[in-house]
Amino acid sequence: MSAVDMRVRIGALELRNPVMTASGTFGSGREYADFVALSRLGAVVTKGVSTEPWAGNDSPRIAETPSGMLNSIGLQNPGVEAFCAEDLAWLAGRDVPVIVNVVGHTTEGYVAVAERLEREDAVSALELNISCPNVDEGGMAFGTSCDGAAQVVRAVRAVTTRPLIVKLSPNVTDIVEIARAVEAEGADAVSLINTLLGMAIDTRTFRPKLARGVGGLSGPAIRPVAVRMVWQVARAVGVPVIGMGGIMDAEDAAEFMLAGASAVAVGTANFVDPAATVHIIEGLERFCAERGIGRVAELTGAIRE
């Protein structure tokens, strides 16, 4: 197979290939180390981290749906101090860029986590999660209005020197205007999509299948929605787009890049195949080689219209 240049750039961040893990589906990477050599990955994106520990929601937290799943984990995490001491310390020696997903109930909460992470050399970039549908305050509340999104991005931009990726919610009328608003505040990249708000009801018990009632839909079921949104956003903003939503194989990853993504993230697919990320990297390289494409980055925005 001819050598394909798999490197991509996300602003100042150079990745050895465009495939990263989607936040919350890969732990801190350690949990998958039996299945994946982490140094093969473009980047590891960690689960959401807040200032204080969060307990998350009650069980049941997941339900299987047609070609997808609902989750309402609720950003359970041990807080940024424990995260730095354990997860980050472990990840630091793994020869893989680490992108930390940052969450908060308030703007001050996001800022405090970003400030704390500023002291950690192992952090390659921040991904600001303003799009989690599974918490009552903060989370998606920031990501569904231009003002809310702009305000939190501005505040975090002021305290971090790291590349700042902002993760967008699909649960909005116009994702493009949110993307433009965060770009204007200095976001270095946008990632999309987070999960779509959904619900499933058990017709035997008449109860919601999730204890929280509603949750976030992920998996192949959301892929066409995600591809459409990546396509819309990529043509509207100047910063790189990281695409995700139901990527199961290399063709799916290529589809996102054709729509305009510079890199992609793999989430739910890890549950089906714990080595999905590596299979997608290998497949993407083959995909390019078979078509005589020398650099994977050439796929970005190469849709023919």
Partner 1 sequence: MSRAAAFSPALERATVLANARVAEGVWLVALAAARTASSVEPGQFVHLRIAEGTDFILRRPFSVFRAGGGRIEILYQTLGRGTRALATVAPGVEMDLIGPLGSGWRIPEGAERALLVAGGLGVAPLGMLAERLARDGVAVTLAQGAPSAGRLLARELFEDVCRRTAYATDDGSEGACGFITMLTPELIAADRLDVIYTCGPEPMQRIVAAQAAEAGVACQVSLERLMACGVGACLSCVVSTVHGRKRACVDGPVFDAADIVWEPAADPEVRS
Ligand X SMILES: Cc1cc2nc3c(=O)[nH]c(=O)nc-3n(C[C@H](O)[C@H](O)[C@H](O)COP(=O)(O)O)c2cc1C
Instruction: Show which residues are catalytic.
Output: 132
Q: Does 208 bind partner 1 (CB under 8 A)?
A: no
Do the beta carbons of residue 83 and residue 59 sit within 8 Å?
Answer: no
Q: Does 304 bind partner 1 (CB under 8 A)?
A: no
Q: Does 96 bind partner 1 (CB under 8 A)?
A: no
Residue 211 CB coordination number (10 Å): 14
Do the beta carbons of residue 5 and residue 298 sit within 8 Å?
Answer: no
Which DSSP string corresponds to 242-276?
EEESS--SHHHHHHHHHTT-SEEEE-THHHH-TTH
* Angle at alpha carbon of residue 273, lines to 220 and 76, rounded to 5°: 75
204 binds, among partner 1, ligand X, none (CB under 5 to 8 A by kind): partner 1
Q: How far apart are CA 156 and CA 162, in angstroms?
A: 10
31 binds, among ligand X, partner 1, none (CB under 5 to 8 A by kind): partner 1
Site string for partner 1, 237-256 (x = CB under 8 A): -----------x--------
Toward ligand X, which CB reaches closer, 65 or 298?
65
Toward ligand X, which CB reaches closer, 171 or 268?
268
Cis omega (within 30 of 0) for bond into 220: no
Q: Specify which residues 54 forms β-bridges with.
A: 77
Residues contacting partner 1: total by CB under 8 A: 38
Q: Does 67 bind partner 1 (CB under 8 A)?
A: yes
Encoded tokens for 224:
């066409």
Q: How far apart are CA 204 and CA 296, in angstroms?
A: 49
Which residues bind to ligand X, rule: CB under 6 A?
Answer: 22-25, 47-48, 71, 73, 75, 101, 129, 132, 167, 194-195, 218-219, 222, 244-247, 266-269
- Binding region for partner 1 (CB under 8 A) out of 28-36, 168-176, 228-236, 286-294: 28-36
In eight-state DSSP terms, residue 109 is H
Q: Does 76 bind partner 1 (CB under 8 A)?
A: yes
Instruction: List interacting residues with partner 1 (CB under 8 A).
Output: 24-27, 31-32, 34-35, 47, 55-56, 58-65, 67-69, 71, 73, 76, 204-205, 207, 219-220, 248, 268, 270-275
